[in-house]
Amino acid sequence: MYRPVGAFLQADACEFTVWAPLAETVSLELSSPRVQSVPMHPDAWGYWSVTLPNIKEGTRYAFLLDSELRRPDPASRHQPEGVHGDSAVVGPGFAWNDQHWQAPPQKDWILYELHVGTFSPEGTFAGVIQKLDHLLELGVNVLEIMPVAQFPGGRNWGYDGVYPFAVQHSYGGARGLKQLVDACHAKGLAVILDVVYNHMGPEGNYLRDFGPYFTDKHHTPWGQGINFDDKHCDPVRSFFLQNARMWLEEFHLDGLRLDAIHAIRDSSAKHLLRELSEMKAELEAQNERQYILIGECDLNDVRYLDPTERNGFGLDAQWIDEFHHALHALTTHERMGYYEDFGDSGQLLAAFQRAFVYNGQYSPHRKRRFGSDASHLPTWRFVNFAQNHDQIGNRMMGDRLATTLSFEALKLTAAVLLLSPYLPMLFMGEEWGEDTPFMYFVSHGDPDLIEAVRTGRKREFAYFQREGHEVPDPQSEKTFQGSKLNWEYANDPQKRLLWQYHRELIRLRREHPALGTGTRDAMQFELDASQHLLEMTRTHGEHRLCAVFNLTQTTRSTLWPHTGHWRLLHNAGDAQWGGSASVPEQLKQTDAFIVPPYGVLVYETTTAATT
Q: Encode pLDDT of 471-516 as tens digits.
A: 999 999 999 999 999 999 999 999 999 999 999 999 999 999 999 8
- pLDDT on residue 1: 65
Categorize the per-residue pLDDT at 463 as very low, low, confident or very high, splitting at 50, 70 and 90.
low
Q: If you classify domain 514-610 with CATH, what class do you get? A: mainly beta
Range with the largest mean pLDDT of 374-378, 386-390, 463-467, 518-522: 386-390
Residue 466 confidence (pLDDT) above 70: no
- Tell me what percent of the chain is helix, strand and coil, each rounded to the nearest 5: 30, 25, 45
| pLDDT tens sequence across 158-193 | 999 999 999 999 999 999 999 999 999 999 999 999
Q: Is 296 a catalytic residue?
A: yes
Is 262 annotated in some ligand binding site?
yes
Categorize the per-residue pLDDT at 610 as very low, low, confident or very high, splitting at 50, 70 and 90.
low
Could you give the residue range(s) of every CATH 2.60.40.10 domain in the chain? 6-88
Is 257 annotated in some ligand binding site?
yes
Q: Is 282 a catalytic residue?
A: no
Which is more confidently placed, 32 or 338?
Answer: 338
Distance CA 121, CA 432 (A): 17
CB 564 within 8 A of CB 542: no
| pLDDT tens sequence across 30-75 | 988 778 999 999 999 999 999 999 999 999 999 999 999 999 999 9
- Kindly state the helix (H) or strand (E) to which residue 573 belongs, with its residue range: none
Residue 478 carries which side chain, given as an amino acid letter? K
Could you give the residue range(s) of every CATH 2.60.40.1180 domain in the chain? 514-610
Is 390 annotated in some ligand binding site?
yes
In DSSP terms, which residues pair with 544 in a beta bridge? 539, 605
Is 219 annotated in some ligand binding site?
no
| pLDDT tens sequence across 188-234 | 999 999 999 999 999 999 999 999 999 999 988 888 999 999 999 99
Instruction: State the SS3 of 195-243.
Output: ECCCCCCCCCCCHHHHCCCEEEEEEECCEEEECCCCCCHHHHHHHHHHH
Q: What mean pLDDT is predicted for residues 570-593?
A: 96
Is 393 annotated in some ligand binding site?
yes
What angle separates helix 321-332 from helix 345-354, to the nearest 10 degrees?
Answer: 160
Is 258 annotated in some ligand binding site?
yes
CB 18 within 8 A of CB 5: yes
Distance CA 226, CA 263 (A): 10
- pLDDT on residue 34: 78
Q: What mean pLDDT is predicted for residues 307-323?
A: 95
Residue 608 confidence (pLDDT) above 90: no
- Opening angle at CA 71, ends 91 and 173, nearest 5: 35
Is 325 annotated in some ligand binding site?
yes
Distance CA 332, CA 129 (A): 34
Is 452 annotated in some ligand binding site?
no
What angle separates helix 272-287 from helix 233-249, to the nearest 10 degrees?
Answer: 40
| pLDDT tens sequence across 438-451 | 999 999 999 999 99
- pLDDT on residue 28: 98
Is 391 annotated in some ligand binding site?
yes
CB 341 within 8 A of CB 365: yes
Is 313 annotated in some ligand binding site?
no
Rg (CA), the chain: 26
Phi, psi of 265 (to 5 degrees): -90, 115
Categorize the per-residue pLDDT at 533 as very low, low, confident or very high, splitting at 50, 70 and 90.
very high
Categorize the per-residue pLDDT at 607 as very low, low, confident or very high, splitting at 50, 70 and 90.
confident
- pLDDT on residue 12: 84
With a pLDDT cut of 70, the percent of the chain lying above it is: 98
- What contacts 242, CB < 8 A, 6 or more positions away? 4, 5, 75
CATH superfamily assigned to domain 6-88: Immunoglobulins (2.60.40.10)
Active-site position among 113, 194, 259, 306: 259
Buried b (16+ CB within 10 A) or exposed e, 38-55: eebeeeeebbbbbebeeb
- pLDDT on residue 469: 76
Q: Helix H segments across 15-154?
A: 116-119, 125-129, 132-138
- pLDDT on residue 35: 85
Is 444 annotated in some ligand binding site?
no
CB 20 within 8 A of CB 210: yes
| pLDDT tens sequence across 471-481 | 999 999 999 99
Is 230 annotated in some ligand binding site?
no
The SS3 of residue 56 is: coil
| pLDDT tens sequence across 561-574 | 999 999 999 999 99
Distance CA 502, CA 425 (A): 12
- pLDDT on residue 222: 87
Residue 519 confidence (pLDDT) above 90: no
- Opening angle at CA 353, ends 532 and 604, nearest 5: 70
Q: What mean pLDDT is predicted for residues 579-602?
A: 96
- pLDDT on residue 609: 63
- pLDDT on residue 76: 98
Active-site position among 194, 254, 296, 434: 296
The whole-chain average pLDDT of the chain stands at: 95
Distance CA 91, CA 77 (A): 9
Residue 465 confidence (pLDDT) above 60: no
